[in-house]
Amino acid sequence: MPDTPAAADRKPLSEELCFCGSGRKLKHCHKSASADSRAVHVHNLYREVDGAIEEYRSHSPKQPPCREGCSACCSDYFPVSQVEFELLLVYMERHWSQGEIREAFERAEEDLEILRRENPPLHDSLTHGADRGGELDALRRHAGRNGFPCPLLDPGTGRCRVYAARPFICRTHGSSHTFYGTWRERLQPERICEYIDGGRAHRKITPNVADFWPRYDELTDVRVGAKRRPLRQYPIFYWLVLYGRHGSGHTARLGSRDNFDLPLAEHNARMAAHESARAK
Ligand code: SF4
Ligand code: SF4
Ligand SMILES: [Zn+2]
């Protein structure tokens, strides 16, 4: 993995810039947030993986054609975690108008209807309460390119309107690869997108971010001791549908701020207890 700052060299997390993109330090901006929260750790992971990709790009002669305005992959079907989605809402609340936010929620409702028409099995797995295992199975079998782009994309310019807060997969797709060295991975024939061949060709022009993924999983699932409880993830448009229908309507306001205000271990313990109580 390319150089990232050693833990001892890093500033305390409260000294880092706030996750909302205000340009202010966390301790002066979102003051109720814990510097040890899931959201702050995810935000920090974003910066580290960006740094690794940037470092590679600064010296590699061959690079993928990803660039501003290239947005074909923003129509792919891919899930993101809840904390990443909430980081998007916090960013939108600070940088978008109420009208723009409302429009994104409305677009998401339309997107769900398009998915229902064009990909019924995937639509059903999304809306019929599959667990994480069921979700991954549906992804393997039915996910591909949607007939609509991410509702956070500016369709006119092809620019991401939440670029600074975009999820982990949006930072790494195309611009990096994940390779643990198994024979199965060596034979990968797939393409990354219509402009990039996959497998070995892609590994030659991008950095390997395999070391980041276990940390991503650790932060986006619930961990208590050695136990890991995988949490369901959804595509961005469906998170918007869920929060629009069951949260604060077509606004970016958060009902619960636990992903931001609680230290990670406390939040994990609370979620695990909640799940156990529901299972009884
Ligand atoms: S992954 Fe492909 S579609 Fe996406 S930005 Fe890169 S080149 Fe463009
Ligand atoms: S968040 Fe941004 S980069 Fe990610 S899919 Fe949406 S528009 Fe594309
Ligand atoms: Zn802030």
pLDDT digits (tens, 9 = 90+) for 90-139: 999 999 999 999 999 999 999 999 999 999 999 999 998 777 778 888 88
Q: Give the pair of three-digit tokens for residue 45.
A: 């992971």
- What is the pLDDT of the chain when averaged over all its residues? 91
| pLDDT score recorded for residue 6 | 46
CA 191 – CA 77 distance, rounded (Å) = 15
Spatial distance between the Cα atoms of 96 and 119, rounded to a whole number of angstroms = 31
> Could you tell me if 202 and 63 are in contact, meaning their C-beta atoms sit under 8 angstroms apart?
no
Protein residue closest via CA to atom 2 of ligand 2: 160
Residues 6+ apart with CB under 8 A from 51: 2, 4
Q: What is the pLDDT of residues 223-278, one digit of tens each?
A: 877 788 888 899 999 999 999 999 999 999 999 999 999 999 999 999 888 877 76
Are residues 274 and 138 in contact, defined by beta-carbon separation less than 8 angstroms? Answer: no
Least distant ligand from the CA of 153: 2
Residue 249 burial (10 A CB sphere; 0-12, 13-18, 19+): exposed
Calculate how far, in angstroms, residue 279's C-alpha sits from the geometric centre of ligand 2: 35
173's torsion region: left (phi>0), alpha (psi -120 to 50) or beta? beta
Q: Which two tokens stand for residue 20?
A: 């909302």
Q: Which of 73, 74, 169, 170 to mutate to test the pocket of ligand 1 (most atoms within 8 A of CB)?
A: 73
Residue 71 pLDDT level (bands cut at 50, 70, 90): very high
Closest C-alpha to ligand 1, atom 7: 66
The pLDDT value given to residue 1 = 32
Q: Which residue carries 């690794």 as its tokens?
A: 52
Strand, coil or helix: 223:
strand
Beta-bridge partner residues of 197: 191
- Would you say the pTM of this structure is higher than 0.85? yes
Per-residue pLDDT, averaged over 73-88, amounts to 97
Spatial CB neighbours of 46, under 8 Å, sequence gap ≥ 6: 168, 171
Determine which residue's CA is closest to atom 1 belonging to ligand 1.
174
Mean local confidence (pLDDT), 55-83? 95
What average pLDDT does the segment 36-41 reach?
96
Distance 31 CA to ligand 3 centre (A): 8
pLDDT reported for residue 9: 55
Residue 2 has pLDDT above 80, yes or no: no
pLDDT over 80 (residue 169): yes
From the CA of 76, give the closest atom in ligand 2: 5
- Site residues for ligand 1, CB cut-off 6 Å: 64-66, 70, 72-73, 173-174, 192-193, 195-196
